[in-house]
Chains A and B, each alone.
Chain A
């Protein structure tokens, strides 16, 4: 049904295939993307070479404008690149929050100077960004944030604390929401950029229930942001923040991985661990029903992702389907995590050690970390508020105070 190719792309496909063959180091074939790992050890020479090649080519962000180093390609060509990367067993080494969220937002709201300064290092994978949004007192109610930026003439002086800053320990720069007017709530927020490599910034990783530390607490004590790094108007940061969150959510909906099935389907896993009856059905009929329910919803979710994409480039204008994607996807993933554990039984409760397979241990960690999916990037409840208000047109009580 969905045809994302088209014969006009075949010439480009040949070009992409040739270029990847010529530039992707054979030693990295099938290796995981180091960007996906939680630890960031020093990259190997091959990893560095591959990042540099993709960065110079602009194909890590194929649809970004060529004027700032991006690929300047169409959506169709971008999909071809992804397909050809997959075919070659290659990963896209250009990623992170700069690519997912900040870059697209700056391209929309930044000045020409800001784009020329900040976009090319993202394209080349030279600078990693982190997101200074949430605070201890400002989670779902993000606009109640208190981190203050004081006008010091040529720069802002920043004091306060952020939390759940993903990858702050590895970040070079921060895009940050700060309060520049205490008399107003949403209209008193500004969007500023500053380097993390300065004395006024302190980062402390937070250990989570899964045992890992993907998030940090970040403290600002007289930290400095240059005036030129204010994005959008003073006190006009909330609009930009909302736009950025849309980019974040669209990136989170497919949140997958970490199921710990070793690439096996959940159904196959169930057959292996639980067994089958004389008709080849999963022996636990209660589990089987829940599995098929999830499978049906999961497939409908994927069908919706395809439909939304087709509609947005077809004749129907922007698709209303996109607004539901984060909640629908993350809840189904969490169900799958829960069932993976259930299927593995006691073997699915190991914390570490030789008694458990790698897949079993990953299932436990994935299940625990997966609890974050319905909390970060706009909690399930906040997403429901957004659908109620923006799509369904119901009154919004959260904006009245």
Chain B
């Protein structure tokens, strides 16, 4: 755990107690079983917004608290522990970042206060195929309108405003599109992790450019990636702790299975990877707050390392629980499914390893 300021400690403690009391994994299960239309519990999301979480990175003049990305990461980590589904990442982090970094005063005034209070949801529409590939953009911006197709838009069904990448006269950039524009048609996806996502088709949808071009796309994506990594950290730590608890109570051959070295050393390996991952995630978030030039490499480092670790821990969670871990009644499957979805979000390990190497010049 990073060395936190007093405000950050309070924020984390508030998030921890709310998540444990109001949003345990049973809440996620209930949401999934209810087939919630948007892939999250709207009442819970409103409570989060009331606590100011949607405005953590938003400047005070636009209704936020301007606490920064490390602070928001602390909340996402706590939410990740219980797999709490919400548009916080898509809206309060990704879309808010796009507006903060690339929005005009008018655009900021129109959207940021509503995003901060949770009355509007923003989402990022970047990819056009099954793999994250932000440089490959077919969607086109011409004459104030966007035409093209975007896939796997997280919280795409809930969104009021979409931040869309498209090719304009000066290359790829980001554009704001209202989700209720007649040129936008959304198709809800049903994914293994039960979160909200959509494929979206744009046909001459009215769009306003944000300033910053391709560099803005990368900056916004890096912030989203670091945010996902923070959420993954919480999920992976919880998956590990739940598994560790089980190793201490499950008895076979007359002793707890946690006394077997074959399992102990795998547990030690997971603990090691979690510690390394925490360092990488916190360093990436701190670099964003410091607007450091090494944000891209630190973010790719964090997303790649965190992805590998969550992958391992989620697999081991099922394996070490044995048969019970295979049942839908147990939480292990939720963590496994969430792990793969989060790994794929905004670039999987292979994507970020390659990006890290390219940044380093090899």
Per DSSP, chain A at the interface is helix
Report B360 CB to chain A, min CB distance, Å. 6
B interface footprint on A256-269 (CB within 8 Å = 1, 0 otherwise): 00000000000110
Encode contact with B along A52-78: 1 for CB under 8 Å, 0 otherwise: 000000000000000000000000000
* Residue A300 CB within 8 A of the other chain: yes
Q: Which of A267, A311, A387 contacts B1 (CB 8 A)?
A: A311
Count class of interface residues, chain A: 35 or more
Asked whether B361 lies within 8 Å of A384 as measured between CB atoms, the reply is: no
Contact residues of A between 322 and 352, Cβ < 8 Å to B: 324, 327-328
Q: Is A289 an interface residue (CB 8 A)?
A: yes
Q: How far is the CA of A281 from the CA of B277 in the complex (A)?
A: 26
Decide: A282 and B276 in contact? CB cutoff 8 A. Answer: no
Shortest distance from the beta carbon of A392 to any chain B beta carbon, whole Å:
6
B residues less than 8 Å from A299 (CB atoms): 280, 301
Is A353 an interface position by the 8 A CB rule? Answer: no
Taking the complex as formed, is B286 at the interface, i.e. its CB lies under 8 A from any CB of chain A? yes
User: Is A243 on the interface with B (CB-CB < 8 A)?
Assistant: no
Name the contact of A281 in the complex, choosing from B248, B280, B362 (C-beta under 8 A).
B362
Verify if A189 is at the interface (C-beta below 8 Å from B): no
Q: How far is the CA of A230 from the CA of B227 in the complex (A)?
A: 56
Q: How would residues 255 to 283 of chain B score, 1 for a CB under 8 Å from any chain A CB and 0 otherwise?
A: 11011010011011101100111111011
**Contacting pair B259 A297 (CB below 8 A):** no
* Main DSSP-derived SS at the B contact region: helix
Which residues of A250-309 are within 8 A (CB) of B?
Answer: 267-268, 270-271, 276, 280-282, 288-289, 291-293, 295-297, 299-301, 303-304, 306-307
Residue from the set B265, B276, B279 with the largest chain A CB neighbour count within 10 Å? B276
Bound-state CA distance A297–B349 (Å) is: 13
Smallest Cβ-Cβ distance to B280: which chain A residue: A300
Per a CB cutoff under 8 Å, which of A296, A301, A385 touches B304? A296
User: Could you tell me if A397 and B279 are in contact, using CB atoms closer than 8 angstroms?
Assistant: no
Which residues of B (128-184) have their CB < 8 Å from a CB of A?
Answer: none
- Smallest beta-carbon distance B35→chain A, Å: 38
Judge whether A303 and B279 touch: CB under 8 Å: yes
Whether B267 and A392, one on each chain, are in contact in the complex, defined by CB atoms closer than 8 angstroms, is: yes
Contacting pair A293 B353 (CB below 8 A): yes
A334 to chain B, nearest CB (A): 15
Q: Quick check: is B4 within 8 A (CB to CB) of the other chain? A: yes
Q: How far is the CB of B264 from chain A (nearest CB, A)?
A: 4
Kindly state whether residue A7 has any CB partner on chain B within 8 Å.
Answer: no
Is the CB–CB distance between B356 and A292 below 8 Å?
Answer: yes
A1–B295 CA distance with the chains assembled, in angstroms: 12
A35 close to chain B: CB less than 8 A: no
Contacting residues, chain A, for B312 (C-beta < 8 A): none
Least Cβ–Cβ distance between B298 and chain A, in angstroms: 9
- In the complex the two chains form, is A315's CB within 8 Å of B3's CB? yes
A314 within 8 A of B: yes
CB distance from B12 to the nearest CB of A (A): 12
- The 8 A CB mask of A356-388 against B (1 = contact, 0 = none) is 000000000000000000000000010111011
Q: Please state if A397 and B259 are interface contacts (CB–CB under 8 Å).
A: yes
Q: Would B256 and A321 count as touching, CB distance under 8 A?
A: no
The reply to whether the CB of A86 lies closer than 8 angstroms to some CB of chain B is no
Bitwise, B301-332 to A at CB < 8 A (1) or not (0) is 10011000000000000000000000000000
Let me know if B2 is at the binding interface, CB within 8 A: yes
Contacts of B361 in A (CB 8 A): 267, 280
CB <8 Å contact, B256 and A392: no
Are B276 and A395 neighbours in the complex by a CB distance under 8 Å?
no
Flag whether B93 is at the interface (Cβ < 8 A): no
Contact between B4 and A315, CB atoms less than 8 A apart = yes
Q: Of B1, B244, B259, B280, which contacts A395 at CB under 8 A?
A: B259
In Å, the complex CA distance between A268 and B283 comes to: 25
A384 pairs with B356, CB closer than 8 A? no
CB interface residues, A 72-104, toward B, < 8 Å? none
Within residues 199 to 227 of chain A, which ones have a CB less than 8 A from any CB in chain B? none
Contact of A381 among B2, B265, B279 (CB under 8 A): B265
In the bound complex, CA of A288 to CA of B275 (Å):
25
Closest residue of chain B to A290 (Cβ to Cβ) is B353
The answer to whether the Cβ of B192 comes within 8 Å of any Cβ in the partner chain is no
Q: Give Cα distance in the complex from A321 to B272, angstroms.
A: 8
Asked if A397 and B3 make an inter-chain contact with CB atoms under 8 angstroms apart, the answer reads no
Using a CB–CB distance below 8 Å, which chain B residues touch chain A? 1-4, 9, 244, 247-248, 255-256, 258-259, 261, 264-265, 267-269, 271-272, 275-280, 282-283, 286-287, 290, 292, 301, 304-305, 353-354, 356-358, 360-362
10 closest A-B pairs by beta carbon, nearest first, are: A314-B3, A388-B264, A303-B279, A300-B276, A387-B268, A304-B279, A395-B259, A384-B268, A324-B272, A267-B362
Between A and B, 16 residue pairs with Cβ closer than 8 Å are: A267-B361, A271-B362, A281-B357, A291-B357, A293-B353, A296-B304, A297-B276, A300-B279, A303-B276, A311-B2, A327-B272, A387-B268, A388-B261, A392-B271, A395-B256, A397-B259
4 other contacts beyond A296-B304, A306-B279, A392-B244, with CB at 8 A cut-off?
A: A292-B353, A297-B305, A299-B301, A324-B276
